[in-house]
Structure 1
Amino acid sequence: MSEFIQIHMLASYPPSNLNRDDLGRPKTATVGGTQRIRVSSQSLKRSWRTSEAFSDALKGTIGIRTRDMGVKIKKALVEGRLLSDILEGNESAPSREIVKDEKKASEWAMKISSHFGKIEGGKEKDTDKKGEKSDEKSTKNPLSHKQMVHYSPEEIAGIDELIGRIADGEKISDDDCIRLRSDHKAVDIALFGRMLADNATYNTDAAVQVSHAITVHDTPVEDDYFTAVDDLNQLDDTAGAGHIGEAEFGAGLFYTYICINRDLLIENLQNDTELANQSIKALIRASSMVSPSGKQNSFASRSYASYLLVEKSTEQPRSLAAAFFKPISGKDIYGDAVKNLEGLRDRMDNAYGTSFKQSSRSMNVIDGTGSITDIISFVLES
């Protein structure tokens, strides 16, 4: 049976707007009949995946997620530069022959990138916004993918090798492009998965599931009325503000649940157990120490997790979000949240005959018990 690592996390955020909806307001959810502030799992995963805490620990094993690989491939061909330098934004001199025919470069870029999914192409739009026929050309780059594609380091290196062969005058075949699908060890793809509707061959089942974070208590969204003063306003013409604005925010204690399928992670990483352990360690550190970047300049709402409960077992995993179905109220919201989590865990064990409590560790920053080092050691021990 698969071994699951479950992380239950409480993190307190001061006034903030970590994850906005289409109106610029903090995202919300109705739980137990009351409004909670919500941070989406997509926002959380991106903040962890792109953080220095994660990338520095796993350097060389993290991929790139983009729609514009075809655009970058053409750029590498016509400039004679390494694809890796272009993707990383490094200024570099040409290191191979330049493909002077831009049309040919576009054709090669399209041939390679199309093996990872459908591309925009140069087709005209069929209709305009009113549903009428339109001759307007698409403003999207014809070499861009229709959907985001997550490329592994191995696939990027393989593409760069094909670019070098093209620059040397060699013609590459479909089989050469198909070989790009070789096994890879991209940690971010192994953890969070990859789904390409247009080319299922490249799909990878995610070894990690992440919940949307929600506040454990009823949480209103509040308004911040603010003004900005013109530095050159000497009060001779007007004493008014140079700018008036309004921003919305919220604050609260958030619960997040993370489930890691360790066996699937090892399988996704081509049975590299050491790399899987490094990935888990980096994920635990990033998830407990990295905050989403939304409105950070306005609120400086960077927070570490105050409480972690980590379990490992071959039992079927389960969230403990039901501990907060009834919103917590009162003076000790944090203390009550911890009691609710641990109490529900114990009652679940009694009801289902499970033994999560016997295989768990916790860290409580407020009480001064446990540490992130203890948590990681427990998770990684055989």
Structure 2
Amino acid sequence: MTTFVQFHVLTTYPPSNPNRDDQGRPKQAMLGGAQRLRLSSQSVKRALRESQHFDAALAGSIGTRTKRLGTELEDELIKGGAPADQARAVAVEVAGIFSTLEAPAKGQPQVALATTLAFVSPEEWRLARDLAARKLAGEAFPTGKELKRLVLRKADGAVDIAMFGRMLASDPEYNREAAVQVSHAITTHRAIAEDDWYSAVDDLNKREDTGAGHLGELGFGSGVYYLYACVNVDLLVENLAGDAELAAKGLEALARALATATPSGKRNTFAHHPRAIYMRVERGAVQPRDLTGAFFKPVDLKSDDIERTSVDALQRMSEQLDRAYGPACEAVEVMDVKAGLGTLDEIATFAAASVPAHA
């Protein structure tokens, strides 16, 4: 049976704008007829991938999401002494394995820049470099699908690709199904974006000059956010070509990052560096369920302690679902910062132990 690990995380954000919409304001959502602030799942996943925990624990096992594999490869070949025209031709051929390339300007040669982002694993980068070097040396290679098989992989050691999946539109055979699902984080209570009107002074203004040197507006908001993430442990191991030890390291890094990593929008303006005030991690083979229903009725902003009320609502929703459907998991680990219960080390160890070989 499939093993699932589910994370339920509450984090309090100060006035900030970590994830902006097309107008530069904090993203929002409606739930239960009430306006909430929102962090998109995409912004959260990028924050996880770029966190110090992924960087430290998974060095060498992280992919690169880019359109520029070909242009980078071209630069490397030229720096290695290859003639520019040959480097371009080889880079174009290799880059075309991952994505359709940008059409060149009229009368200009084909460029090695892709039209879409591709998630490239370290192993695929190595194989692409190796293929380019051999092509440059004049070695003959197959074309079409046979050429792609020399570079593309269905499973390897890229933890973030194994977790969050990838889509290669032109080569669905090499798509990866995400082993980790991440929700949009929403505030547990009503919250709206506010506007900050600000001005800046010109330091060299003469004393008799009046008025500001610059005027501007900026949106921001604050609140307690609920975030849900679900890990299919079996699929994670499969996506990592059966490497259970690496999967365990990945789960530990994920647990630590979920507690501490945040989208970085306008961080220099607001200095938001929040940490989770509550984490509930569940392990079992029962069909996953999120606990968003705990906040369908928004937490009352008149509450003496919105954080505590949010924690209580989350725990109550879990108990209600368990009564109705039966236990949702076989084991639970909780960190409740304000109650002095649990630690992040214990949460991370529990998550890593969910991989069968490490249980």
- Scaled to the shorter chain, the TM-score interval is over 0.9
Q: Does 2:325 match 1:352? A: yes
Tell me if the contact between 1:192 and 1:207 (Cα under 8 Å) persists in the aligned partners: yes
Residue matched to 1:71? 71
Question: Aligned partners of 1:15, 1:376: CA distance in 2, in Å?
Answer: 29
1:132 alignment partner in structure 2: none
Is 1:264 aligned to residue 235 of structure 2? yes
Task: Write the distance in 1 (CA, Å) between the matches of 2:17 and 2:204.
Answer: 31
1:361 to 318, 324, 333: 333
2:188 counterpart residue number: 216
Displacement of 1:142 after TM fit?
3.2
Question: In the aligned structure 2, how far is the partner of 1:145 from the partner of 1:53?
Answer: 30
Q: Distance in 2 between matches of 1:250 and 1:211?
A: 19
TM-score relative to the length of structure 2: 0.93
Identical columns (%)? 43
Aligned to 1:91: none
Structure 1 counterpart of 2:89, which letter?
Answer: E
Unaligned runs of 5+ in 1: 81-97, 125-136
The alignment of Structure 1 onto Structure 2 pairs a total of residues equal to: 349
Q: Which residue number corresponds to residue 106 of structure 1?
A: 88
Name the residue aligned to 1:157: 126
| Counterpart in the other structure of 1:147 | 116
1:282-297 to 2 correspondence within 5 Å? Answer: 282-297=253-268
CA contact (8 A) 2:164 2:178 kept: yes
Shift of 1:106: 2.3
Distance 1:355 1:27, change over 3 A: closer
Deviations 1:2-53 (A, max 9, x none): 1000000000001000100000010000111011000000000001101222
Q: CA deviation at 1:235?
A: 1.2
Verify the 8 A CA contact 1:48 1:54 in the aligned structure 2.
yes
From 143, 156, 161, give the equivalent of 1:184.
156
Shifted more, 140-149 versus 12-21: the winner is 140-149
TM alignment of 1:226-375, pairs within 5 A: 226-236=198-208, 238-329=209-300, 330-356=303-329, 359-375=331-347
Deviation at 1:332, TM superposition (A): 1.7
Q: Quick one: structure 1 residues 141 and 244, their matched pair in 2 at CA, closer, same or farther if it must change by over 3 Å? A: farther
Preserved contact between residue 17 and residue 25 of structure 1 (Cα < 8 Å)? yes
Aligned to 2:356: none
Q: 1:350 to 1:141 in 2, by over 3 A?
A: farther
Stretch moving more, 305-314 or 177-186: 177-186
- What per-residue deviation string (whole Å, max 9, x for no partner) do you get for residues 315-371 of structure 1? 000000010000101222111111111111111011012243x52111111111110
Q: Secondary structure at the match of 1:56?
A: helix
CA, structure 1 residues 377+105, in 2 after alignment: closer, same or farther (shift >3 Å)? Answer: closer
Give me the whole-angstrom Cα distance separating, in 2, the residues matched to 1:339 and 1:41.
24
How high is the TM-score relative to the length of structure 1?
0.87
Residue in 2 that maps onto 1:133? none
1:46-65 aligned at under 5 Å gives the runs 46-65=46-65
Unaligned runs of at least 5 residues, structure 2? 354-358
Question: How far, CA to CA, are the matches of 1:216 and 1:261 in structure 2?
Answer: 26
Q: Deviations over 1:262-313 (max 9, x none)?
A: 1100011111111000000001111111111100000001101000011001
> Distance between the aligned counterparts of 2:322 and 2:142, measured in 1?
58
**CA distance in 2: counterparts of 1:76 and 1:215, whole angstroms:** 46
SS at 2:234 equivalent: helix
Residue 108 of structure 1 aligns with an amino acid whose one-letter code is V
Query: How far apart, in 1, do the equivalents of 2:30 and 2:84 lie?
Result: 57
Q: Give the match's secondary structure for 1:46.
A: helix
Q: Distance in 2 between matches of 1:260 and 1:157?
A: 28
SS in 1 for 2:97: helix
Deviation, 1:141, is 7.7
**2:10 touches 2:277 (CA, 8 Å); kept in 1?**
yes
Cα offset, 1:99, TM superposition:
2.4
Moved more, 312-321 or 174-183: 174-183
Give the C-alpha shift of residue 172 in structure 1.
3.6
